[in-house]
Structure 1
Amino acid sequence: MEDISIASKKPKLSFWEIWNMSFGFLGIQFGFALQNANVSRIFETLGASKDSLPILWLAAPVTGLIVQPIIGYYSDKTWIPKWGRRRPFFAIGAILATIALFIMPNSPALWVAAGMLWVMDGSINISMEPFRAFVGDVLPNEQRTKGFAMQAFFIGIGAVVASVLPYVLTNWLGVSNTAASGEIPDSVKWSFYIGGIAFSSAVMWTVFNSKEYPPEDLEKLKAENSERKIFSGLAESFIGIFKMPKTMMQLAFVQFFSWFALFAMWIYTTPAVTEHVYGTTDTESALYNEGANWVGIMFGVYNGIAALAAFGLPILAKYFGRKGTHMIALLCGGAGLISIFYINDPNTLVISMIGVGIAWASILSLPYAMLSSVLPADKMGYYMGVFNFFIVIPQIVAAGILGYILRNFFHNDAVYALIVGGISMAIAAFLSLLVRDIDEEKRNKAKSNN
């Protein structure tokens, strides 16, 4: 558990200081939102079948499984004067991700696009993973819920803009939304170009407008680094899954079912909406591309709702507790996903995304707020990286079984994957009640003593 005396020494930051340290997530989510809303579209355009989509998407969780714990471990052990501990990783990831975002929509073949997803997702993870630890490094305990909520706000805003870009470019600026067989439409290409510029700009804003505290014992860190071998570092990163605090283990189960649901949504919303609502599977048709653009609007809506809900979650947590608030939010998300099955009007799909947005805001903030209270300060990045196993493992499981389930039980009807996702999110909601929230227990004890 983190030394409370150390955490209490950290000065409170102003609203704008928390704003600056979180602003980079605006760019990071540009990258993830473009990936989530458009990669299935790119794969299908280049000839992928629906039941092969989960396997092609496997790149995203596998790169996270490898990259996040390693980056978390080594960012704990890094200190560069004038650059700090986490910010070097922010910058390196931003540069690599921007390059990948420019290349991805120009993939000439399916195998190239699949390979670029590996590169793009790995690069985004290099920037993203240390951001979670950054909140624990810089903010005192009483401001961490606000810090993670601010991150969720920027995630929402960045994702809204990125998700609706193809629709805006097509309907407002007249950019072509169709292309020859096997080619990616210009609306998607220009969305990725804009996203690349936004990614690097936002992350660099945080790099140059935030500060970090040096490690408690800098000389000890230098000595450890001089003796450390890279392979021992890699091994220790993966051993951490067996050393998790109890609260972290409890949250791991909640995360598993939450992210299984999210991955099902990201993979299958485009084929589900284009077939179930728009009535087409022809990727070259104007109707398919209209439906694919509308999926971007849907994703923009849930991310917009998440941006707004992020500021309401700390208020609700005062009344229902953090785990109670998380349960309510996840139930809203599960209901939103399941409701898509019963909708035939594209405009009504927006209502489904409201529930998903509430859940998304909570997933991005409350588990991390609860977790940061039980982690040691000198291993914040390491454990945050290990915790991300329970983001990527459910995605690997989803990639392995969703295609099989649809093919063998639901006649390849993609909308059923969203129902499975909704049920999974409901399971996560009830598991959240089993989590032990240390801060909440301390506050309740203090109230009873008074």
Structure 2
Amino acid sequence: MSQQKPSLNFWQIWNMCFGFLGIQFGFALQNANVSRIFQTLGASIDDISILWIAAPLTGLIVQPIIGYLSDKTWNHLGRRRPYFLYGAIVTSLAIIVMPNSSVLWIAAGTLWIMDASINITMEPFRAFVGDMLPKKQHATGYAFQSFFIGIGAIVASALPWILTNWLDISNVAPQGEISDSVTYSFYAGAVVLLAAVSWTVYRTKEYSPEQLAAFEKASTDSKLVYQEKHRSAKQYLTGAAIWSLVGLVLLMFIYTNSLDKELYLVAGGLIAFGLVEFITAFMIKRSAVNNGFYQVVNDLFHMPKAMQQLAVTQFFSWFALFAMWIYTTSAVTSFHYGTSDATSKLFNDGADWVGVLFASYNGFAALAAVFIPWIVSKVGLRMSHLFNLTCGALGLISFSFITNPDHLIYSMVGVGIAWASILSLPYALLSNSLPAHKMGVYMGIFNFFIVIPQLLAASILGVLVRYAFDGQTIYALVLGGVSLIIAGISTLFVSDANIQTTPSK
């Protein structure tokens, strides 16, 4: 007998979202300290953005795969929880290894492993809200996730500063070594991540596939029947030819003009996408379409309308965030503290202050998450997101006008408001347009529009800083502010229609 999906109480939602505290603890340690570790191990400012390529590239590959697999998984741990647990174990081990990296290539490789495993853990959490909560509680579920993201990031971002100033643990180390304050922070992060994710795994019971099918069948608010669509082999071959040709032309242009090596990533990405379309066409001709590769590519080309519109918003939002994560340490230490010497106390004081700034914007985000639903009730999702992203833009741009680093804390109020909005409102706009039986794979595909701007940022930001900004990384933050303004304006064109899809019979 079919039944409606029951509402969960406060502590049930708390338990199912608590793992995000650990995930964000690890993610915040990575964002606030990896550039610092790279510089300590000898990376130049010009190379930092390309070293960060591991993070978005692994997300681009891993998240749709994990989304597809988790949609089809059911074992003694459940549907999403196996990915939570196993990803957390690998992530914790990588977090322990990172501050013990003796050379730059080990740190870069560890970042690759760390980000891949974080993505394995994190991606199913977004689909988890759709699995466990009725539609009327989706916003609440994402708000809980945003709250735990903020709390985890506050402590993790500020931890090196706390250890130095409260426990008198050194934040300075000999050249080529990582300071004790950073090392101990990473050790603590490994413990917190594994413990928090384990809490969710063992305190939350998932619905079985049969129960989820019954809930979907009982849904009474469907306005649209989901119909599976497919492109022809000819269409994929045409796309493959176009993307490959453009990529090859760009590749030759970069090579013949001896342009920066980072730009090869853009050309390689275009060629790789052409290859993906070619493989898909080959599968269609061989009638080999009952596999995850084909399904992910096909779903990519048949995204719901709201998801297509949100792609622009996500692109410019995450380009700005990646610019901030890569260059805030360098910008603050050089522009506000006046040094680029990674072995100096002044540099490490500045880097510690960046950790505090990152903690503060996450704290402001946790507070903003409480008020954003009220703002949405007054002006709607789109205008709310526009306002929130504009606050973030002003915060980033103000870095170039503020000279006293202590006053940068005020800039982080705007950044925190934008961060809380980015973590919740796009998903609120999106969630009701996704077919329930493809929740995981579409959440993974939605990550493309988070990852692609990060890949582009890693490819071109170093070039822009070197040639357009004359090595002054403060202007990378200004560019991030402009990108947030564009993202906010694009939100006005996103449909916020309340559509719940169901699979076709």
For the criterion TM > 0.5, the same-fold answer is: yes
Cα distance in 2 for residues equivalent to 1:286 and 1:40:
17
What's the CA shift for 1:241?
Answer: 1.7
Superposition map of 1:53-72 within 5 A? 53-72=48-67
Cα distance in 1 for residues equivalent to 2:349 and 2:211:
57
1:104-123 Cα deviation digits (max 9, x unpaired): 01000000000000000001
**What is the identity percentage for the equivalent residue pairs of Structure 1 and Structure 2?**
61
Alpha-carbon RMSD = 1.9
What's the CA shift for 1:86?
Answer: 0.4
Q: Which residue of 2 aligns with 1:94?
A: 88
The letter for the 1-side match of 2:119 is N
What's the CA shift for 1:236?
Answer: 2.3
Residue 360 of structure 1 aligns to a residue in which SS? helix
Superposition map of 1:408-427 within 5 A? 408-427=467-486
Task: Kindly indicate whether residue 350 of structure 2 is the aligned counterpart of residue 291 of structure 1.
Answer: yes
Q: Which residue of 196, 208, 215 maps to 1:214?
A: 208
1:362-404 Cα deviation digits (max 9, x unpaired): 1001111111100111110010000000000000000111011
Q: Which residue of 1 aligns with 2:362?
A: 303
Residue 189 of structure 1 aligns to a residue in which SS? helix
Q: Which residue of 20, 29, 41 maps to 2:36?
A: 41
| Contact 2:314–2:449 (8 Å) recurs in 1 | yes
Q: Check 1:10–1:212 CA distance in 2 against 1; reply closer, same or farther (3 A cut).
A: same
| Contact 1:306–1:358 (8 Å) recurs in 2 | yes
Cα distance in 2 for residues equivalent to 1:230 and 1:345:
59
What's the CA shift for 1:324?
Answer: 1.4
Q: Which residue of 2 aligns with 1:362?
A: 421
Q: Check 1:239–1:54 CA distance in 2 against 1; reply closer, same or farther (3 A cut).
A: farther
Q: Which residue of 1 aligns with 2:68?
A: 73
The letter for the 1-side match of 2:348 is N
Residue 299 of structure 2 aligns to a residue in which SS? helix
What's the CA shift for 1:216?
Answer: 3.6
Superposition map of 1:34-433 within 5 A? 34-81=29-76, 83-216=77-210, 232-433=291-492
Cα distance in 2 for residues equivalent to 1:25 and 1:36:
16
The letter for the 2-side match of 1:174 is D
Cα distance in 1 for residues equivalent to 2:2 and 2:327:
43
1:37-64 Cα deviation digits (max 9, x unpaired): 0000000001111111110000000000
Cα distance in 2 for residues equivalent to 1:115 and 1:235:
29
- Runs of 5+ consecutive residues of structure 2 not aligned to the other structure: 214-287, 501-505
Question: How many residues end up aligned between the 2 structures?
Answer: 427
What's the CA shift for 1:218?
Answer: 8.9
Cα distance in 1 for residues equivalent to 2:336 and 2:478:
15
What's the CA shift for 1:171?
Answer: 0.5
Segments of 4+ moved more than 4 angstroms: none
What's the CA shift for 1:7?
Answer: 11
Q: Check 1:282–1:142 CA distance in 2 against 1; reply closer, same or farther (3 A cut).
A: same
Task: Kindly indicate whether residue 495 of structure 2 is the aligned counterpart of residue 436 of structure 1.
Answer: yes
Residue 449 of structure 2 aligns to a residue in which SS? helix
| Contact 1:333–1:358 (8 Å) recurs in 2 | yes
1:258-313 Cα deviation digits (max 9, x unpaired): 00000000000000000000000000000000000000000000000111111211
| Contact 1:178–1:284 (8 Å) recurs in 2 | yes
Cα distance in 1 for residues equivalent to 2:438 and 2:396:
36
| Contact 2:150–2:365 (8 Å) recurs in 1 | yes
Q: Which residue of 2 aligns with 1:446?
A: none
Cα distance in 2 for residues equivalent to 1:407 and 1:213:
52
- Runs of 5+ consecutive residues of structure 1 not aligned to the other structure: 1-5, 220-228, 442-450
What's the CA shift for 1:231?
Answer: 9.2
What's the CA shift for 1:233?
Answer: 1.2
| Contact 1:177–1:289 (8 Å) recurs in 2 | yes
Which structure would you say has the larger Rg? 2
The letter for the 2-side match of 1:66 is I
The letter for the 2-side match of 1:65 is L
Which has the higher mean CA deviation after the structures are superposed, 275-284 or 431-440?
Answer: 431-440
Task: Kindly indicate whether residue 87 of structure 2 is the aligned counterpart of residue 28 of structure 1.
Answer: no
What's the CA shift for 1:257?
Answer: 0.2
1:184-238 Cα deviation digits (max 9, x unpaired): 000000000000000000000000111211124899xxxxxxxxx9992133223
Task: Kindly indicate whether residue 68 of structure 2 is the aligned counterpart of residue 9 of structure 1.
Answer: no
Cα distance in 1 for residues equivalent to 2:2 and 2:304:
18
Q: Check 1:218–1:14 CA distance in 2 against 1; reply closer, same or farther (3 A cut).
A: closer
Residue 438 of structure 1 aligns to a residue in which SS? coil
Cα distance in 1 for residues equivalent to 2:319 and 2:2:
33
Task: Provide TM-score, normalisation by structure 1.
Answer: 0.92
Residue 369 of structure 1 aligns to a residue in which SS? helix
